[in-house]
Structure 1
């Protein structure tokens, strides 16, 4: 989800409580805070020696141990106020992918993609998901999208790709 799309959804649902589902049926506690907003510029080189760059907005969520028994979730209006204040200090790239950085005692620290959102009663639920890593240079490096080749054919392509004169790292 792009940053602009998130802001648009928040604008439309300011009267609701804001919940984050970081895994199926697992939610950030009502004691969460928005503790940091990162405006990240990524400059990357993939394994096919192709350069790429993009921006990301990363919103960090943290559960306060001092408010562990809190049951009322942050309102969308309050979260939007925090995000707008940040935007006045450091402009957003509204086309940037937005992610949420989160962890708790039973969930590892991760940057989670916005998978979907839903409205339940008086709640806006942002559904977050882990995305798997992927090879961006599959075609260039001869990595099959699906394993339809025999193991021997795949091995030959990988060996050719990984030679010192090959195109892949």
Structure 2
């Protein structure tokens, strides 16, 4: 039985390697994550970076397998601190990679809590340099039905192929 490889991420998902590449040119710039309509507090900590390899059955009884990296943000206020530089985040990830095998192409998930509310899962958007800081928007990561997601992606691909530029003599879908 072959597992579906979910390492082919959705367009709105970010890999660890993509984030690190985007941060590498701005190592001295403050790194500001945004979630629930606001930035993290300047005293935030990266409390954990962990790698996971998962095997599962989806709701259609299809075997699934994927790698995922989790970065835990503790959104706290801590006396007089500023947002950590992008280079410090980069260094933390490199330190973790000395002890745990981190797949740079793995899906990146952020776990965020203020230490009071339960941890929530977020996906990261592409970083944006604005006002001298690197901003990363985090979006809540909803549950999904993987068979349905694959079917929708295939239907979208078919529609794009059918309704794209026509080749001489070919008919487009009706």
TM-score class normalised by the smaller sequence: 0.7 to 0.9
Which residues in structure 2 correspond to 1:104-123 (within 5 Å)? 104=114, 108-123=118-133
Residue 19 of structure 1 pairs with residue 59 of structure 2: no
TM-score (norm 1): 0.74
Residue 38 of structure 1 pairs with residue 47 of structure 2: no
Gaps of 5+ in 1: 146-169
- Larger strand fraction of residues: 1
Larger radius of gyration: 1
Q: Give the structure 2 partner of residue 165 of structure 1.
A: none
TM-score (norm 2): 0.72
Residues 78-106 of structure 1, C-alpha deviations (whole Å, 9 max, x = no match): 11111111111112111100111101268
Aligned length in residues? 139
Checking the alignment, whether the CA contact within 8 Å between 2:51 and 2:102 is kept in structure 1 is yes
Which residues in structure 2 correspond to 1:138-157 (within 5 Å)? 138=148
State the shift of 1:121 in Å: 1.5
Which residues in structure 2 correspond to 1:15-164 (within 5 Å)? 15-24=28-37, 26-64=38-76, 67=78, 69-104=79-114, 108-138=118-148
Gaps of 5+ in 2: 1-13, 156-174
RMSD, aligned α-carbons: 2.4
